[in-house]
Amino acid sequence: MSNRRIRIGIDTGGTFTDVVAFDEDSGELVTTKTPSTPGNPADGFIAGIEKILGIVGAEGSDITAVSHGTTVATNKLLEGKVEALGFITTEGYEFMLEIARQSVPDGYGNSYFWVKPDRIVPADRVRTVGGRLDFTGAEIRPFDEEQAVAAARWFRDQGITTIGVCLLHAYANDEHELRLRDVLRREHPDAVVSISSEVLREYREYERSMTTLVDAAVKPNVSRYVTNISERLLGFTGNSIPFYVMKSNGGVLSADEVVHQPITTVLSGPAAGALGAALIAKVAGFPRILTCDGGGTSTDVSVVLDGEPTLTTEGTVGAYPSKIPMIDVVTVGAGGGSIAWLSPEGTLKVGPHSAGADPGPLCYAKGGTQPTITDAHVTLGRIPPHLLGGEIPLDVEAARAGIADLAEQLGVDFERCATGILEISAWNQANALRQVSVKRGLDVRDFMLTTFGGSGSLLACRLVDILDLAGVVVPPNPGNVSAFGLLTVDVKNDYVQTHVAKESALDHAAVQGILDHLTDRAREALGKEGFTEDQHQFHRTIDVRYVGQAYEVRVAAPEGVVDEAYVAQVADTFHAEHRQLYGYDFRGDRDQQVEWVNLRVTGIGPITRPEIPTLDKAHGTVEDRAVRGRRPVCFDADQGYVDTPVIWRGDLGAGDSFSGPAIVEEFGSTIPVHPGFEVVVDDWANLVIRKTGSTNQETAR
């Protein structure tokens, strides 16, 4: 009988399920992929575990822990498939969702006929309850139990079993919400209920309501999914093992706890990829990177500073604002399966609709009817006529026929149409990268781009051209970086409390009391997760603004006792962050006061991270050792096809270098190196790609 300790990271995407196994004794990392099963993602999950155990020669009983990234909550929101949902709020505020927030997308100039998005809850499914608190949490009018009972019975009679509760100023005092939840449990025991004081203890009623309703909306699906996986996993391993689910904030949480806070998983998959890429790039000596995670349906981009992905609480998923801490990821519908189509005006468009895993691109020969980005790549020779090292053959002629038909409708030749599809996709990705960099006050020329995911590296060279980036870092096994990221992630819990006060009027003892209370809650949660006191870590942040501003900047806060020096240090950090973001600050201006808004504490339970192995040098030349063949590849429609060497990445050694044009292939992905680019293999097996003679290549280090 085997007696090994194997920790597994498994990321379920729209097309493939990526798996990484870490042998805790030998330090060995092994990766693989298996097709996803959208009908029942648990099938692909278990198939992936079976496959990786077969590769490493281990058994289910050898698994010590599983960390999982899932898109269950994300897809439900992106597809807008929100089932019957009820909303209970304070009497007189039944149209809170209708009023919403005056936030016009793309600026007023492009939005003359902008209409607010559909409500997540129709007006006829909103009920109100009497009772009122002020912003300090003091009771103005008592809670109306009769109205609460009537509301609970109405939802029960209507058959609405998912309900969100947001009462005015519950962030300051949760008493009324807790009483309402007790009524719902008594009168409507089948209901799944989310209350705002547990989901998001912050002011701004609309955002708190929406975040609570999103939590309620995804709770049944996430609960069913996680329970199903847990049961399947128990049957497979034969014993109960730690099962963690990736959170949007860059941490993981046990499956038992995730079912109580499902909204924390809305960016589960993209967050894991950003963390894995951040660690890989930091070890390689690149602390400032942009990440580009290309999948079958979409591409996710984020920014990493000093080895840490940046966080935001202003995120949205689909049309729904979700004001929880999440890695600042921008998603664009430009994945390998994104469909190329003609607009009514006759112009070429790419995405956001995707062929997904089923039926998939035309070249999958599974019933797809429209050409996709993958079809363009395979017909131009940029990827081989198969995926996963030959496990999935591709029908090149079917792809060619689809693009030829599109080219005929456009009145252009085949190569111009196919390269046009890829060019539009590259600009879509470049615009997403600008959103997380230029719009945050960052100069993209100072950044390396880390590309991963099955399709993430296919347009890397064009992105360098478009954005004038310092270069590209492509990790080994790029298709499995998200799954690898799951093995690098600590347990994290976030706690927040609104406390609005001008800096000059701060009650230091009150602030200290709130921070201590939040820390105690974090400490209790880490204890439940099995971490001992000596393992606990706590990270404080404060949301700060200038008096009169509508939104805040989150800044790191020091440890220690809150006093004058503590407050001054927070202000110093805020001035610097504000200047970085907006180009100015009011440091030294006595007429412009600083105001504290939200106090935050994150509890961290650290895990043992796998070490990234180094690569040995290899003997002989790249051409003799690693070139597996040649094929004609079209990088530019005007230049046509050029005879291009095909290099097998597994045969490369540390210090190897070569110039484009070249195609680098490995099991899970392909990297086209365009003419005018050079590649160096670093000590950690990354491909570092830069423009030949680049002048900004050292700025990213």
pLDDT of residue 473: 97
Domains defined for the chain, CATH in brackets = 1-69 (3.30.420.40), 80-221 (3.40.1360), 268-331+426-486 (3.30.420.40), 338-424 (no CATH), 491-605 (3.30.1490), 622-691 (no CATH)
Nearest to 38 by CA among 79, 85, 83, 84: 79
Contact 421, 399 (CB under 8 A): no
d(CA 132, CA 93): 11
pTM value is 0.81
Q: State the amino acid at position 591 in one-letter form.
A: D
Angle in degrees, 0-180, between the axes of helices 564-582 and 508-528, rounded to the nearest 10: 80
Cα 598 from Cα 498, distance rounded (Å):
4
500 sits in which H/E element? strand 491-502
Kindly give the parts of the chain with pLDDT less than 50. Answer: 1, 107-112, 697-701
Number of other residues whose CB lies within 10 A of the CB of residue 432: 23
Q: How far apart are CA 383 and CA 377, in angstroms?
A: 6
Contact 470, 696 (CB under 8 A): yes
Dist. CA 482–CA 69, nearest whole Å: 8
Decide if 487 contacts 452 (C-beta within 8 A).
Answer: no
Question: Which residues neighbour 256 within 8 Å (Cβ) at sequence distance 6 or greater?
Answer: none
- State the DSSP code for 123: G
Alpha-carbon span 307 to 609, nearest angstrom = 15
Q: Which two tokens stand for residue 340?
A: 């190329």
Max Cα distance, the chain (Å): 84
Half-sphere exposure of 142 (CA within 13 A, CB side): 3
Task: Give residue 341's pLDDT.
Answer: 92
The pLDDT assigned to 291 comes to: 95
Calpha distance 67→573 (Å, rounded): 35
Which residue from 91, 197, 86, 94 is spatially nearest to 144, judged by alpha carbons?
A: 91
Neighbour-count burial of 94, counting CB atoms closer than 10 A to its CB (0-12 exposed, 13-18 middle, 19+ buried): middle
Q: What are phi and psi of 467, to 5 degrees?
A: -100, -5
Report whether 289 contacts 447 (CB < 8 A): yes
User: Residue 61: what pLDDT?
Assistant: 86
Structure-derived torsion over alpha carbons of residues 546, 549, 554, 559, reported in degrees to the nearest 10: 30
Q: What is the model's pLDDT at position 182?
A: 96
Rg (CA), the chain: 26
- Taking the C-alpha atoms of residue 471 and residue 461, their distance in angstroms, rounded to an integer, is 8
pLDDT for res 114: 56
Instruction: Tell me how far apart the alpha carbons of residues 191 and 84 are, in angstroms, rounded to a whole number.
Output: 12
